[in-house]
Chains A and B, each alone.
Chain A
């Protein structure tokens, strides 16, 4: 299904190894996908799965997790899915800190529909709808997740498959909203349009630009502009949605007059 040199398969392999190492059972795991090349991943899975609509995967996943907190719920999305059409759901899932793991393949364009511009296409880059260069700025998905309230944020590239798996494992183990962003080659569209026709060239580009976060943070702001950080960027333990919900439920079910303000019968 995916083109040769595409990064989606590497991510899927890392995710499945993470499931295996954590002992996830198919019956306890739900993978929710969006629409796009990334969103096609459910067809290769034998867990429970829900293939949703473009941009809305996190909202579907929120309903699943909120109703049955025992499930492991993992959401696979592209950059178009997660932060372009679905940006509102993304920031609200992070704000709620709902215990989902989002894995985003950021290939800087809309792979499935022919390489159009996305909210993560770097300014000036070429796509099938920015023939003279992208006039808009791009989102930093990890920064967005951090300010919106995610408990765990990491970034990796397919160049580092083992590290990616380890980060996905940490994300899965983390209670609350966790995000692993994968900067990923799309040689067929983004590569072709930006003089990185060969898979190798796109991988080299990602490898040169990506620096371990410790190293990245030592750079001057100007130098940081030429690079991006990989590794674990945020790790914190704010209570997740379901925990807080059950705390509130105690008030609702307490005998008359204790805790809550609700007079409903």
Chain B
């Protein structure tokens, strides 16, 4: 029997990815352009034995997600700029307490309420630095409906494996676009669950990492009784103000990402190997960039595309390796400040020919606009 192919929206595909990955708890507060995720979850969670909750705000939503995760759920929420800002403080607790969870932030044009139905890529730095207190997270950015599904599964896998929040941050175009999609069979795509403790419950310490840099995580209600805290804590989860302990804790939170950097950083390249012109793109701009690269090739200019799927940690090595061979780098992005271009500049140094193509009027970047940067 042939596999069913449907016309599916990005938001729908992310919801299906979450359910496929085993998500059984969703708490959120509706906001355009992410609301379809809440609406779909409100239907499907009840059917699969999970829980959907509409909370009183986004602060409560991420709090409930973290609480449910510690009770053993794979849990997630979805929002957009204004709600994502409200989540930051509690997201910091998920980093500090090493609580797996997934946040979908469908990026819309700001600042503030801005153009609530229009796309943007203006939250790149907020994804990375939005929380106070010197911390690292993982952020992924899909560009197609299939990637919306796949990267949501990946987000859960990374969150579970490394005990941290993972953010999926498509722009409004990708979230609302419809494309042909077929749902993989169960087992076809790898699904990872968090490591559980073994051995005597008496000896369980929720913050003592194994050799892979990650500690097993029990669930509330299990015999492995444990404490999680937003305050600085020792290996046992109880308050600890010793400077040596603080240094160990803070470093551990960053180090587990650094250790597994190669597994976390996902990029794709298109005709980039022999390119003289490299377009570095992510989300919806990937599509315009591929069209622009094809057009440039037709005109005899060897152009290629590097797509950043993982935005954070930044793909320093991948950018440096490819950009080393090209004459010109173009970074199209839907923001004024060139948030990704700035990172590319950091990696390549001030001498590199980096051209920025920015849109910040709530409209997409067209292939023609990209072409104008080079011809």
Contact = CB atoms under 8 A, between A and B. Distances in A.
Interface of A: 26-28, 30, 32, 35, 40, 42-43, 45-53, 56, 59-68, 70-71, 88-89, 92, 245, 248-249, 252-253, 262, 264
B220 A64 contact: yes
- A contacts with B: majority SS: helix
Contact of B67 (A35, A62, A92, A264): A62
A255 to B, nearest CB: 12
A59 B60 contact: yes
A88 B226 CA distance: 28
Contacts of A32: 67
A248 B67 contact: no
Given A47-B225, A66-B25, A68-B221, 16 more contacts: A30-B221, A45-B227, A50-B220, A51-B239, A56-B59, A56-B60, A56-B90, A62-B60, A62-B63, A62-B67, A63-B67, A63-B75, A66-B51, A66-B53, A67-B25, A88-B60
Contact of B56 (A30, A47, A89): A89
> Which residue of B63, B69, B231 has the most chain A CB atoms within 10 A of its CB atom?
B63
B46 A253 contact: yes
A48 B221 contact: yes
A215 to B, nearest CB: 37
B60 A49 contact: no
Q: How large is the interface on B (under 10, 10 to 19, 20 to 34, 35 or more residues)?
A: 35 or more
Contact of B220 (A52, A68, A92): A68
Interface in B43-102: 43-44, 46-47, 51, 53, 55-57, 59-61, 63-73, 75, 89-90, 93, 97
B47 to A, nearest CB: 5
Contacts of B225: 26-27, 46-48
A34 to B, nearest CB: 10
B56 A27 contact: no
A108 to B, nearest CB: 24
Nearest to A35: B230
A264 B40 contact: yes
Interface string B206-234: 00000000000001111101111111000
Contacts of B40: 264
Chain B CB within 10 Å — which of A42, A52, A92 has the most? A52
Contact of B63 (A27, A49, A51, A59): A59
A71 B93 contact: no
Contact of A71 (B63, B71, B223, B229): B71
A63 B71 contact: yes
Interface in B21-56: 24-25, 27, 40, 43-44, 46-47, 51, 53, 55-56
A181 to B, nearest CB: 21
Contact of B222 (A27, A40, A53, A61): A27
Central interface residue in A42, A61, A63, A252, by most chain B CB within 10 Å = A63
Contacts of A71: 71, 220-221
B227 A252 contact: no
A51 B46 contact: no
Given A59-B59, A253-B47, A67 B71 contact: yes
Given A49-B228, A68-B220, A248 B46 contact: yes
A264 B227 CA distance: 39
Contacts of B237: 49
16 contacts: A27-B223, A49-B226, A49-B237, A50-B67, A50-B220, A51-B231, A52-B230, A59-B61, A62-B64, A64-B71, A64-B220, A66-B25, A89-B56, A245-B51, A249-B46, A264-B43
A32 B227 CA distance: 10
Contact of B64 (A53, A60, A70, A248): A60
Nearest to B223: A27
Interface of B: 24-25, 27, 40, 43-44, 46-47, 51, 53, 55-57, 59-61, 63-73, 75, 89-90, 93, 97, 219-223, 225-231, 237-239
A60 B53 contact: no
A252 B47 contact: yes
Contacts of B89: 53
Given A64-B71, A66-B53, A67-B51, A52 B65 contact: no
Contacts of A42: 227, 229
Given A48-B221, A52-B63, A252-B43, A64 B70 contact: yes
A64 B222 CA distance: 13
Contacts of A264: 40, 43-44, 47
A66 B220 contact: no
Contact of A63 (B27, B222, B226, B238): B27
A27 B223 CA distance: 5
Nearest to B222: A27
A252 B51 CA distance: 12
A76 to B, nearest CB: 14
A27 B218 CA distance: 11
A64 B72 CA distance: 9
Contacts of A30: 71, 220-221
Contacts of B66: 60, 63
Contact of B229 (A51, A63, A68): A51
B59 A62 contact: no
Nearest to A49: B227
Interface-centre pick from B60, B73, B228 (highest chain A CB count, 10 A)? B60
Contacts of A46: 225
A48 B7 CA distance: 45
A51 B44 CA distance: 32
Contact of B25 (A35, A63, A88): A63
